[in-house]
Amino acid sequence: MEMFEKVQMLKKETGVTYEEARKVLEEAGGDMTEAMILLERRGHKSRAGRDGQAQPARNFGRSLGRMIKALIRFIKRTSFNVTREDRLIFTMPTFVFALLLFFFWEPILPAMLISLFFGIRFYFTGAEATEKPNMVLKKAGDLARDVKEEFSGRGEEPAEEKSEDTAGQVHMTF
């Protein structure tokens, strides 16, 4: 690699000016590693910590931390409610529901899904923003109702009046 390319790379990696990068490289005898060490000793940090590969991982960690905090805050400040035909069946702290769901998810999730077909609805109330989770739960209930209506509506075809001429004949429709 020629000197110009090394200067460009060092400039890009550290954010120093072209002149600074050239001087440091000359001092280091053209050795990139030595030049990086010299710049670091002088207080210039590599951009890898700010703009490179380490940054996305750090941002992901912060985002994950914020999500977990928001989830814990939501669980602490809300209640989980179960209704049928707009009558409250029972309510429990979301913390208790989360624990039950964590330890007994295998029987609870299918029971919740099946109960949607019997008109049971779920929603959250409390101090936290519950619009989004309630919207999802409402859509699940509406979908179950629509599926139930579609399947129960198929078998109800209008009965034809039978005359004595067609009595005993079988009509097949495809």
CATH number at residue 28: 1.10.8
Do the domain assignments include residue 137? yes
CB 121 within 8 A of CB 84: yes
- Say whether 83 sits in a helix, a strand or coil: strand
Do the domain assignments include residue 167? no
pLDDT digits (tens, 9 = 90+) for 44-100: 766 654 444 455 666 777 788 889 998 899 999 999 999 999 899 999 999 999 999
Q: Where are the alpha helices (DSSP H) in 29-130?
A: 32-41, 54-77, 94-103, 105-116
Q: Which domain holds residue 113?
A: 77-153
Q: Where is mean pLDDT largest: 24-33, 146-155, 161-170?
A: 24-33
Do the domain assignments include residue 104? yes
Q: What is the pLDDT of residue 32?
A: 84
- Our count of domains for the chain comes to 2
Do the domain assignments include residue 100? yes
Q: For the chain, state the CA radius of gyration.
A: 34
CB 106 within 8 A of CB 137: no
DSSP state of 88: E
